[in-house]
Amino acid sequence: MALPSMQEVRSETDLAVLVETYSALLFRVAHSILRSRAEAEDVVQDTFVRVIEHRNKLTDIRDMRVWLVRIAWNLALDRKRRIKPDQFDEGFAESLAARTVAADHALAEAHEMQAALREIDRLPSAERAVLLLSAMDELQTAQIAEVLNKSESAIRALLFRARTRLRQRLQKGHRA
């Protein structure tokens, strides 16, 4: 059995560093779209499969983080198109609810979260995309623009409209 070359060792090390550095972010990106832990984990794995497939071109990539988020985002969107709407992971909203509050408050919070998630799903796709990407706080407007292939001013406008529309819908729901 032959020993791996230095190039192979370096690439495996680089891949391990990428996985360690970006897995959590890519999971959050995929989970925000798919709302299923298992599906999001599959997307993260598929993203790193793409890295392996493009390993010879990695030195040409300007911003690794944005490139990886774009791949995960697109893979998650493709996967979501294949999932039926009734496959919504009810546990997703519950997982977002605070764990340090009383059970009745946590349940109420989970119901509010489900309502917010339903309203986010009803947003126009471009507004929903910028809202989800911006909600992760790790992506700045310029990076979101690059992921979605839009101008920064378009991203700011979409984000403003999405937040305004979501706020109005949620306030209307609370009054009902």
Going by C-alpha positions, the residue among 76, 86, 61, 172 that lies closest to residue 133 is 76
**Which one is the CATH code of 8-83: 3.40.600.10, 3.30.1950.10, 1.10.1740.10, 1.10.10.410?**
1.10.1740.10
Q: List the domain boundaries for the chain.
A: 8-83, 89-122, 124-176
For the chain, which residues score pLDDT lower than 50? 1-10, 86-88, 93, 96-97
Alpha helix positions (H), the chain: 6-34, 37-53, 64-82, 90-96, 103-122, 125-135, 141-148, 152-175
* Structure-block tokens of residue 135: 């909600």
CATH number of 124-176: 1.10.10
d(CA 51, CA 63): 13
d(CA 23, CA 37): 13
Give the rounded distance of the alpha carbon of 141 from its chain centre. Answer: 15
Q: pLDDT, tens digit, for every residue of 123-136?
A: 898 888 898 888 86
